[in-house]
Amino acid sequence: MITKRYDRSVLEQHPAFEIAKPSAELLAKTEAVGWPDGLLSRALALRTDQAEINIWLDNGFPTTAMIKDWVTTAEHLASTTLNVRMATWADGYLISDLCHNSPETVGDWQVVVERGPNAYAQFRLQEHPYVVIAADDGVALGIVSRSIRNTCIGGERTTAHFISGWRVREGFRGMGISKLLMQAPGPGTSWFALASYWYVRIDNADKAWVDKVTSDMTDRPEGWAAGADQLTATITHFNDPDQGSLSATARPATEADLSRCVELINRTHQDLDLFRPYSIDYLEQRLNDPAWGPKPSFYPSVYGWDQFRVIESDGEVVACGGLWDRGRDVRERWTKPTTGETHTLAPTALMDFGHTPDAVGVAAMAELISHFLATTATVDGGRSSMMAPLEFSPDIIAACAHLDHNPESRELHVMGFVSPDLTIEATVTRPYTDLAYW
Ligand SMILES: CC(C)(COP(=O)(O)OP(=O)(O)OC[C@H]1O[C@@H](n2cnc3c(N)ncnc32)[C@H](O)[C@@H]1OP(=O)(O)O)[C@@H](O)C(=O)NCCC(=O)NCCS
């Protein structure tokens, strides 16, 4: 039992509670750029770091209008029970409940993307992920997820900011929740990302909102304005798990296989934009899910060594890949209100695959895909289907022609970065898809 209580009067009477007076330099700078009366004191009342404001003023970015908007929002949030913050382990149920109640309209369909029992499963597979949640009195009203990842675009190494999972609860749309999520600050320890990218389902009914967000992101003062490109990314769905055949030769991978697997994965995808060249450490981290050592049974596993397989030929690994049981934690419930039709997609997903380019490697990869499809039929009573990112592997698609499959495309939006001293064009032409990000 907590016996000591915190009394707010102690805080209010403490010298640390006083708002620091603005420096003469800051006063002069805000006057010079024409900040409206009172804006500086309002920003300081929010305990904004004066050094930070100095940096904004020196750069001319964010603009005065953006700062005013941000201050007004922060003041509003400080006076309501609505808060917008980093989601923690304690918010898993809130996120599952929110997603259950936040359908997306796609053409004639309503799509509910259910997340749970582990609401964070997909995000945990991403690099440097965090979820921002808007919640009022324990009711989640919106989320967005972000991941900051090293990647290559046009053969150049850079750091990308991946945005996904936008959901605002039905009944709370059009009230500015997505704007609050957009403006929420990220973790102080976050890496700095340059290129940004996000997927949008083709026929998403909120396309006008996507355009609005894109124009808000690209509407920057001179010297900071980067454009956004739009292209498509495509994956393959294998629809009938009963068509798969368990392979007699696919075996679990061991530490000793990692170096060869990294070589195969990099060879297979090395020319693609948004691919992150693997290292042994990186693959090992994914397969360790993601930390070293054994874990207790109550810690939900997502994907790892148990799901990763290799196939050898003449004593050498020629194909490798993993199967993430995505459908356990991420399911799409499609409903057509006009007819009442409904179906659920609870797929598995092909991860971390690579193979030798010759006929032996291609056949081994197809064998592994068929093996994973057969596994899909049995995992936890059977999942609906299997997703595989094969857009740039026509040889593998051809080798899997006997397995019923169809493509799914999404819009891929990519935005570069422009500042007075650094420009990243971020021209993506052949996008690699990691299903952890789809
Ligand atoms: C799309 C979605 C996230 C928008 O969230 P929201 O909280 O309702 O949006 P906001 O109220 O913050 O609106 C932000 C801006 O977009 C505009 N906007 C919002 N929805 C819009 C729509 N459907 N069409 C056009 N503009 C829209 C608002 O007018 C506002 O403009 P402003 O900046 O000029 O004021 C929400 O509707 C949703 O969860 N949809 C279902 C899931 C989905 O489709 N997610 C997107 C996947 S890419």
185 in the same domain as 74 = no
- Model confidence pTM above 0.85: yes
343 in the same domain as 288 = yes
Ligand 1 center–CA 295 separation, angstroms: 40
Pairwise CA distance, residues 218 & 190, whole Å: 22
193 in the same domain as 320 = no
Q: Which residue from 169, 178, 203, 213 has its CB within 8 A of the most atoms of ligand 1, so it is best to mutate?
A: 178
The CATH code of the domain that includes 164 is 3.40.630.30
Q: Which atom of ligand 1 is nearest to the CA of 199?
A: 48
152 in the same domain as 49 = no
Q: Which atom of ligand 1 is nearest to the CA of 204?
A: 44
Q: Is residue 359 part of a domain?
A: yes
Q: Which atom of ligand 1 is nearest to the CA of 103?
A: 41
337 in the same domain as 245 = yes
Q: Is residue 132 part of a domain?
A: yes
Ligand 1 center–CA 180 separation, angstroms: 11
What domain range includes position 218? 82-232+412-437
Calculate the alpha carbon distances from 68 to 61, 62, 197 in Å.
12, 10, 27
Counting the structural domains of the chain, the total is: 3
Ligand 1 center–CA 209 separation, angstroms: 5
Strand partners of residue 413: 198, 230
Q: Is residue 178 part of a domain?
A: yes
**Which residue ranges have their beta carbon within 6 Å of ligand 1?**
102, 104, 166-168, 173-179, 200, 204, 206, 208-210, 212
253 in the same domain as 380 = yes
393 in the same domain as 250 = yes
Ligand 1 center–CA 95 separation, angstroms: 19
Residue 87 tokens, joined: 């989601």
Sign of CA dihedral 40, 43, 45, 49: negative
400 in the same domain as 251 = yes
Residue nearest to atom 4 of ligand 1 (CA): 178
127 in the same domain as 31 = no
Q: Which atom of ligand 1 is nearest to the CA of 166?
A: 45
399 in the same domain as 428 = no
Residue 138 tokens, joined: 């324990």
Q: Where among 78, 96, 119 does a domain terminate?
A: 78
Residue nearest to atom 22 of ligand 1 (CA): 209
Ligand 1 center–CA 269 separation, angstroms: 35
Q: Which atom of ligand 1 is nearest to the CA of 181?
A: 12
DSSP string across 318-379 = EEEEEEE-HHHHEEEEEE-TTT--EEEE--EEEEEEEE-SSHHHHHHHHHHHHHHHHHHHHG
Amino acid at residue number 270: Q
Q: Is residue 208 part of a domain?
A: yes
Q: Which residue from 209, 210, 217 has its CB within 8 A of the most atoms of ligand 1, so it is best to mutate?
A: 209
Q: Is residue 97 part of a domain?
A: yes
Q: Is residue 57 part of a domain?
A: yes
Q: Is residue 4 part of a domain?
A: no
Pairwise CA distance, residues 83 & 137, whole Å: 9
DSSP string across 285-327 = HHHHSSSSS---TTS---S-GGGEEEEEETTEEEEEEEEE-HH
Pairwise CA distance, residues 310 & 175, whole Å: 50
- Predicted pLDDT of residue 219: 87
Q: Which of 226, 228, 213, 137 is nearest to 181 (CA)?
A: 213
Ligand 1 center–CA 179 separation, angstroms: 8
Please list the ranges in the chain whose pLDDT falls under 50: none
Pairwise CA distance, residues 259 & 256, whole Å: 7
Q: Is residue 271 part of a domain?
A: yes
Q: Which residue from 206, 332, 412 has its CB within 8 A of the most atoms of ligand 1, so it is best to mutate?
A: 206
Ligand 1 center–CA 172 separation, angstroms: 10
**Mapped to the 3 state alphabet, what secondary structure does 200-218 carry?**
EECCECCHHHHHHHHHHHH
Ligand 1 center–CA 72 separation, angstroms: 20
Ligand 1 center–CA 174 separation, angstroms: 6
Q: Which atom of ligand 1 is nearest to the CA of 167?
A: 39
Sign of CA dihedral 252, 256, 257, 262: positive
69 in the same domain as 91 = no
Ligand 1 center–CA 178 separation, angstroms: 6
Residue nearest to atom 27 of ligand 1 (CA): 209
262 in the same domain as 375 = yes
